[in-house]
Amino acid sequence: MPNIIDVTDLRKNYGNFEAVKGISFCVKRGSVFAFLGANGAGKSTTIEILSTLLKKSAGHVVINGYELGKGKHNDAIRRSIGIVFQESILDDPLTVKENIMLRGRLYRLSKDTLEDNYAFVKKYLQLDDIEQKRYRSLSGGQRRRTDIARALIHRPQLLFLDEPTTGLDPETRQFVWETLNVMQRDTNMTIFFSTHYMEEAEQADYIVMIKGGEIALEGTPNALRTQFAKDRLEIVFHDEKIGEALLQQLHVSYRQKQEVFILPLASTKEAIELLETMKEDIASFEVVKGTMDDVFIAVQKNELDVLHQKSDKSVSVYE
């Protein structure tokens, strides 16, 4: 599968401050790509550069076959991409349809193409019930549906989403991602998104984590969880004091949260032996798989020694 984005040694300076410090990565065409990091890590700066809104200080970027910053290539890149910003850029007094059609005209689409494209976004984003409402009157979830429709009105090959579900309720977040996933499968559109919600990152094909303007970790969700997130065994004993004494006798490390004893596992298989040894004293138990939250928190706390194992301070993990 060819790349739709190739980034090599990308840098962005603001005076003496280097916000993006020579990062390199690629995005496969037709994939879902997650770009993660804490506030101030350089995520939004990178997205603004890739979407031609901000000039890079150095580096080489190719998007959909066009070189960023070269001649008229930026115009071609803009025609290839759609962007959903953290904050809306639509007009409050206009209706949903007026907002979307107005943005579509900026791409100089023919009348027939614009009508066809509107029918496309209307269907996927389920705009029938809100298309005649003024943008100012919409709920947060309705606004986000409209924002996404605006970004897709010209049928881009690549969609950038900068924290698209921040502030939305769980039901709306689920709807947004179900819709995006269906569209991506139906059209082979590439999705590049940043998020604070690690459960959203789980559905990406590939993840890059950035910290302090540098890539700290990258790989598939499953590979990152397997290598860097620890499974744990959660146990409730019939008698807490007996359970605590038993764990100490077995020299098992644990932490306690109310009546639950939480045991880190080197592997899921390790839980079998522990449970067999303590089965008469256990009231209930659960084996909890490691999550992307665990990986993300470990990166932020510098708990991954692997951050310094390579000269470029990044780690690639493939399945």
Per-residue pLDDT at 317: 54
Per-residue pLDDT at 314: 54
**In terms of C-beta density within 10 A (0-12 exposed, 13-18 middle, 19 or more buried), how is residue 71 classed?**
exposed
Per-residue pLDDT at 67: 97
Per-residue pLDDT at 316: 58
Per-residue pLDDT at 310: 40
DSSP 98: H
Per-residue pLDDT of the chain (319 residues; tens, 9 = 90+): 689 999 999 999 999 999 999 999 999 999 999 999 888 889 999 999 999 999 999 999 999 999 999 989 999 999 999 999 888 889 999 999 999 999 999 999 899 999 999 999 999 999 999 999 999 999 999 999 999 999 999 999 999 999 888 888 888 889 999 999 999 999 999 999 998 888 889 889 999 999 999 998 999 998 888 777 778 899 999 999 999 999 999 999 999 999 999 998 887 788 998 999 999 999 999 998 888 878 877 777 765 554 444 434 455 554 4
Per-residue pLDDT at 222: 87
Contact 155, 120 (CB under 8 A): yes
What would the pLDDT profile of 235-280 be if each residue is shown by its tens digit? 999 999 999 999 999 999 999 999 999 998 887 788 998 999 999 9
Per-residue pLDDT at 150: 96
- Phi, psi for residue 110 in degrees, rounded to 5: -65, 160
Per-residue pLDDT at 309: 44
Residue entry with tokens 């986000």? 144
Lookup: tokens for 222 = 């499953």
Q: What is the DSSP string of 50-83?
A: HTTSS--SEEEEEETTEETTSTTHHHHHHHHEEE
